[in-house]
Amino acid sequence: MVGFIARRLVQSLFVLFVMTLIVFFGVNVIGNPVYIFASSECNQACVNGIIADLGLDRPVWEQYFVFVGNALSGDLGNSFTFGVPAMSLIWERLPATLELAFAALVIALGLGLPLGILAGLRPDAISSRLIMGVSTLGFSVPVFWIGLILIMVFSVQLGWLPSIGRGDTVSILGLEASFLTLDGLSHLLMPAFTLSLFMLAMVIRLTRAGMREVLHADYVKFARANGISETRILSVHVMKNILIPIVTVLGMEFGGVIAFAVVTESIFSWPGVGKMLIDAIAVLDRPLIVAYLVFVVFMFVIINLLVDILYSVLDPRVRLGGGAR
């Protein structure tokens, strides 16, 4: 197990290295941020001053080595716009994004599992067909459109839910959370639901497919032949088998949900890292963009590792690290 994790981390370091290379040089080609910072009065000498100040006068590869050197000591550079360490900006915004993503996950599982079970138990019923039809929408309709429709209906027409920001937050363990206040919860509901749609559709489909397969398995029939109650069969014997693919796929998807909450956060002006990234791109804040992407890769690595571990806990046939028990 320890060996497995170590091997995984070494692989990830390599991925991280390649990624920084691509991002760093990629960002350097899109444009020169200095012209965005410099005011119109700034003459060439003034511009050159700024360029030297930011270290942009040096060759790109030299900049890269400085960046890597600093990164290894945990410093991903200062944001051009805010003049503070880029990582500190990310940490500041991250709790909002995490809260949104976890709320979306809870919605996806809380709604998706029961709906999927229902659809799997009675595949031919009208209700099941309805559930599957709606889940197809979750895959095919763009997120921003659903977000806008929700705002139009629940904020503009009905005036039930606010459409902007996080609302009141309370601090738990040093992190701000919206879901513990009524106002915060009302702010969280629409963006979280919007963000959850894709995952929700996926959970419904995976649950239904799993049910259809597992319900006809011999071991379920054997459990019935032994007189085990239907509730126990469904909630333990069937569910544990179904959860394996769901956890895997959802785990893979979850990193993406955090990383690309960008759209949802923009629509609902949710003050998370996704919105920060959009702002950073608009002003070509290179260090912030690079720091964000490095952070995202790192997060993917961690999440995938957790998924693998969870997977091996759920499925006894999988042993991490090649049979070392």
Partner 1 sequence: MTRAVDTPPALAVEDLRTAFFTDAGRLDVVDGVSLTLRRGEILGLVGESGSGKTMTGFSITGLIEPPGRIVGGSVKLAGEELVGADRARLRALRGRRIAMVFQDPMMTLNPVLRIETQMTDALLAHASMSRAAARAKVRDALAEVGIAAPDERLRAYPHELSGGMRQRVAIAIALLHEPDVVIADEPTTALDVTIQGQILALVQRLCRERGTGLVWITHDLAVVAGIADRIAVMYAGRIVEEGPVDDVLDRPAHPYTRGLIASVPVPGRRERLPQVPGRMPSLLELPPGCAFAPRCAQAAEACRARPDLLPVGPARAARCHFPLVETEAAR
Footprint of partner 1 (CB under 8 A): 216-230, 232, 236-237, 240-241, 244, 314-317
Q: Shortest distance, CB of residue 138 to partner 1, whole angstroms? A: 28
| Choice between 68 and 318, CB closer to partner 1 | 318
| Choice between 102 and 311, CB closer to partner 1 | 311
| Choice between 41 and 218, CB closer to partner 1 | 218
**H runs (alpha helix) in 122-238:** 126-140, 143-150, 182-214, 218-225, 230-232
Q: Shortest distance, CB of residue 219 to partner 1, whole angstroms? A: 4
The residue type of 72 is L
Element housing 107 (H / E): helix 86-121
- Eight-class DSSP state of 172: E
Q: Shortest distance, CB of residue 233 to partner 1, whole angstroms? A: 9
Task: Give the Å distances, CA to CA, from 267 to 1, 147, 261, 289.
Answer: 42, 7, 10, 20
Report whether 187 contacts 178 (CB < 8 A). yes
Q: Shortest distance, CB of residue 60 to partner 1, whole angstroms? A: 52
Cα–Cα nearest to 317, from 221, 247, 214, 241: 241
| Choice between 263 and 314, CB closer to partner 1 | 314
| Phi, psi (deg, nearest 5) at residue 310 | -60, -40
| Choice between 46 and 125, CB closer to partner 1 | 125
Q: Shortest distance, CB of residue 129 to partner 1, whole angstroms? A: 17
